Amino acid sequence: MKRVIALILVLPILIFAKIDIDKLTKEGKTGNKQALYQLGFMYENGMEVNKDLQKAKRYYRQAAELGSEDAKLSLSLMDLSDKLDKRKVSLSNSVMVKGSKSLNYKLSVSDLKAVLERAKNRDKDALFTLATIYDNGYGDIKADSSRAIALYKKAAALGSEKAKNILLLKSKQ
């Protein structure tokens, strides 16, 4: 929850304040995971710098290696976005979500991209949906329990009761 509050406090600063990119870069070089995450966010979104997804991934990866959960999530979302970008968007190109009888549904790639965009904006329901997809592995998306748990945790931190319940069930297994 503290990370979510910190992110909420940092985003307006990134949006409205002129960032000293050199200072942030120097802080990142000292191993400041928050500075590295901020650099990744800036490069991913083209804030105060030219948009550069490769640099964004590099900074996110460095922050993630230092333990930044936000950077891990951002990397996960960028990876999924890359996978979706490689697919043509059409009605026939979809991801079949299989589960219990009540869970079977079909997501078009454009639907999945919309969920991804909402997840990037920290929408708890979108994060829960992605967690479920990674938990079970659907279509071309392979099951990845560590990504699923990270997404469930983020959704739970943002108030998703469903994610909290899944985490509780998984902790009892």
Rg (CA), the chain: 17
Of 86, 120, 143, the residue that ends a domain is 86
Instruction: Give, as one character, the DSSP assignment of residue 91.
Output: T
Contacts of 42 (CB under 8 A, 6+ apart): 14, 19, 21, 24, 48, 49, 56
pLDDT of residue 50: 92
Task: Give, for 128, the enclosing helix (H) or strand (E).
Answer: helix 124-136
Task: Say how many domains are in the chain.
Answer: 2
pLDDT of residue 139: 66
pLDDT of residue 117: 85
Based on the domain organization, do 117 and 67 belong to the same domain? no
What's the rounded Cα separation, in Å, for the pair 85 and 37?
Answer: 23
Tracing tokens 């970008």 back to the chain, one arrives at 85
Residues in the chain where the model's pLDDT stays below 70? 1-19, 84-108, 139-140
Q: What is the CATH number of the domain that holds 44?
A: 1.25.40.10
Which residues partner with 107 through β-bridges?
95
pLDDT of residue 55: 94
Task: Give, for 114, the enclosing helix (H) or strand (E).
Answer: helix 109-120
pLDDT in tens, 134-172: 887 776 677 888 888 888 899 999 998 888 888 888 888
